[in-house]
Amino acid sequence: MSNFVLNDYINRKVDKKMSLSERVKNLTPSSTLAISALASELKQQGHDVIGLGVGEPDFNTPDYIIEAAKKAMDEGKTKYTASGGIPELKQAIAKQIKVDNDLSYSTDEIIVTSGAKHGLYALFQTILNPEDEVIIPAPYWVSYPEQVKLAGGKPMIIETVEDNHFKITPEQLVAAVTDKTKAIVINSPSNPTGMVYSKEELEKIGEVCLKHNILIISDEIYEKLIYTNEKHVSIAQISDDLKAQTIVINGVSKTYAMTGWRIGFAAGPKEIIKAMTSHASQSTSNPTSIAQYGALAAYETESDSITEMNKAFSHRLELFYTLIKEIPGITCLKPKGAFYLFPNVKEAATRGGFATVDDWVSALLEEEKLAVVPGSGFGAPNNIRLSYAASEDLLKEAAKRIRRFVENHSS
Ligand SMILES: Cc1ncc(COP(=O)(O)O)c(C=O)c1O
**pLDDT per position as a tens digit, 250-269:** 999 999 999 999 999 999 99
Give the model confidence (pLDDT) of 153-209 as tens digits: 999 999 999 999 999 999 999 999 999 999 999 999 999 999 999 999 999 999 999
- Give yes or no for a contact between 263 and 286, defined as CB atoms under 8 angstroms apart: no
Q: Report the SS3 class of residue 66.
A: helix
Average pLDDT of the chain to the nearest whole number: 94
* Whole-number CA gyration radius for the chain: 23
DSSP state of 392: H
**Residue 14 above 60 pLDDT?**
no
Which among 356, 312, 113 is positioned nearest to 221, based on CA atoms? 113
Mutation probe of ligand 1 site: the residue of 120, 193, 221 with most atoms within 8 A of C-beta: 221
Cα 94 to ligand 1 centroid, rounded to whole Å:
20
Residue-level pLDDT at 251: 98
Q: What is the pLDDT of residue 1?
A: 43
- Which residue would you say has higher pLDDT here, 249 or 19? 249
For 382, the 3-state DSSP assignment is coil
What is the 3-state secondary structure of 71-127?
Answer: HHHHCCCCCCCCCCCCHHHHHHHHHHHHHHHCCCCCHHHEEEECCHHHHHHHHHHHH
Confidence check: pLDDT of 130 > 70:
yes
CB of 256 closer than 6 A to ligand 1?
no
Q: Which residues contact 139 (CB under 8 A, 6 or more apart)?
A: 160, 166, 190, 192, 193, 342, 375, 378, 379, 380, 383
How close is the Cα of 144 to the center of ligand 1, in Å?
10
End-to-end CA distance of the chain: 68
Q: In one letter, which amino acid is 141?
A: W
**Is 160 within 8 Å of 168 (Cβ atoms)?**
yes
191 CB near ligand 1 (under 6 Å): yes
Residue 56 alpha carbon, nearest atom of ligand 1? 14
Q: Tens digits of per-residue pLDDT, 304-350?
A: 989 999 999 999 999 999 999 999 999 999 999 999 999 999 999 99
Residue 368 has phi, psi (to 5 degrees) of: -110, 0
- Residue range 139-143: mean pLDDT, rounded: 96
Q: What is the DSSP letter of 284?
A: T
The protein residue with its alpha carbon nearest to ligand 1, atom 16, reads 191
Do 299 and 91 touch, CB atoms closer than 8 A? no
CA distance 127 to 245: 12
Residue 355 has a CB neighbour count (10 Å cut-off) of 9
In contact, 325 and 331? CB cutoff 8 Å: yes
Q: What's the pLDDT band for 246 if we cut at 50, 70, 90?
A: very high
Of 290 and 4, the one with more pLDDT: 290
Q: Is the pLDDT of residue 6 over 60?
A: no
User: Above 60 in pLDDT, residue 247?
Assistant: yes
Mutate to test the pocket of ligand 1, among 143, 218, 222, 261 (most ligand atoms within 8 A of CB): 143
Q: Please state, as a whole number, how many other Cβ atoms lie within 10 Å of the Cβ of residue 375.
A: 26
Contact 348, 342 (CB under 8 A): no
- Cα–Cα distances (Å) from 151 to 28, 45, 55, 387, in that order, read 14, 39, 24, 29
Strands of 127-259 (E only): list them.
133-138, 154-159, 181-187, 215-219, 246-251
Distance between Cα 347 and ligand 1 center (Å): 30
Reduced to 3 states (helix: H, G, I; strand: E, B; else coil), residue 157 is strand
- Higher-scoring residue by pLDDT: 317, 37: 317
